[in-house]
Amino acid sequence: MIIAIDGPAASGKSTVAKRVAKALGFTFLDTGAMYRAVTLEALGLEIDPSDTNSLIKLANDIDISFKREGGCERVFVGARDVTEQIRMPEVTKLVSLVSKEPNVRRAMVDRQRRFALDANLVAEGRDVGTVVFPNAELKIYLSASLRERTGRRRLELEQKGHGITLENLEKEIEKRDHIDSTRQESPLLKAEDAVEIDTTGKTTAQVTEEVMQLVQGRTSL
């Protein structure tokens, strides 16, 4: 079974998807982390986002894996744990520019589909229900107001020691929304058969419960 959870930045996708996967005993796939890993490596190699040939080569060659350690999902590039690094502001600022390159997306989508060959999966991202797994048994689209999403992302950054004004952060999220929703290859869209959940003003537990009720409606789990 595949459960696809899509939505814009800071809509709650990752946290909810992790909780649902844990509750069901499913594999969790953070597709956004894969694009962030490519972006992190591009920064380290000083590859400009406009250098499409170098980005495509990197996307095809990079070794990305996920491991569960101490109850937490960890992201690795080769043997290096990059779980924290891929969430740095400089990566967040560039990830939409890197991930809009069509051939980078195609390389990642191929990898993402392999995860579902022998596992029940909860996958989250921006094109999971529309492009990666269009035949997913359950599709969820999480949304929230811009103000809500900005507040969540600011709190997340502050907890990691990164300071940014609400005004600048809101502009960054708006810019990212625009790039994600207007890119040529697999833009951010709500699948026609997706159930939309507005997470504004809701706790993670409340949204998780709503998703679990939808899951129970589709399966005998």
Q: Helix/strand/coil (H, E, C) string of 77-131?
A: ECCEECCCHHHCHHHHHHHHHHHCCHHHHHHHHHHHHHHCCCCCEEEEECCHHHH
For the chain, how many structural domains are there in total? 1
Tell me how far apart the terminal alpha carbons of the chain are, to the nearest angstrom.
Answer: 11
Decide if 132 is inside a domain: yes
**Residues 6+ positions from 107 with CB-CB distance below 8 Å:** 56, 59, 60
Q: In sequence order, which ranges of 128-203 are alpha helices (DSSP H)?
A: 146-159, 166-182
Q: Which pLDDT belongs to residue 220?
A: 54
Residue 216 lies inside a defined structural domain of this protein? no
Q: Give the orientation angle of helix 52-61 with respect to helix 102-115, to 10 degrees.
A: 10
Q: What is the amino acid identity at position 180? A: D
Does any domain span residue 78?
yes
Tokens of 11: 């809509």
Q: What is the pLDDT of residue 221?
A: 46
What's the pTM value of the predicted model, to 2 decimals? 0.93
Hey, what are 210's tokens?
Answer: 């709503």
Tell me the three state secondary structure of residue 71. coil
Q: Which domain holds residue 85?
A: 2-209
Mean pLDDT by 10 residues, the chain (221 residues): 96 96 95 97 96 97 92 93 95 95 96 93 97 97 97 90 88 95 95 98 97 87 46
What is the pLDDT, as a whole number, of residue 165? Answer: 87
CATH number at residue 50: 3.40.50.300
Residue 218 domain-assigned (yes or no): no
Tokens of 9: 């930045």
User: Is the distance from CB of 56 to CB of 64 less than 8 angstroms?
Assistant: no
Query: From CA 28, how far away is CA 22, in angstroms rounded?
Result: 8
* Overall size of the chain counted in residues: 221
Tell me whether residue 215 is in a domain.
Answer: no
pLDDT given for residue 162 in this prediction = 85
Interhelix angle 52-61/31-44, nearest 10 degrees? 120
pLDDT at site 68: 86
pLDDT at 207: 98
Say if 217 falls within a structural domain: no
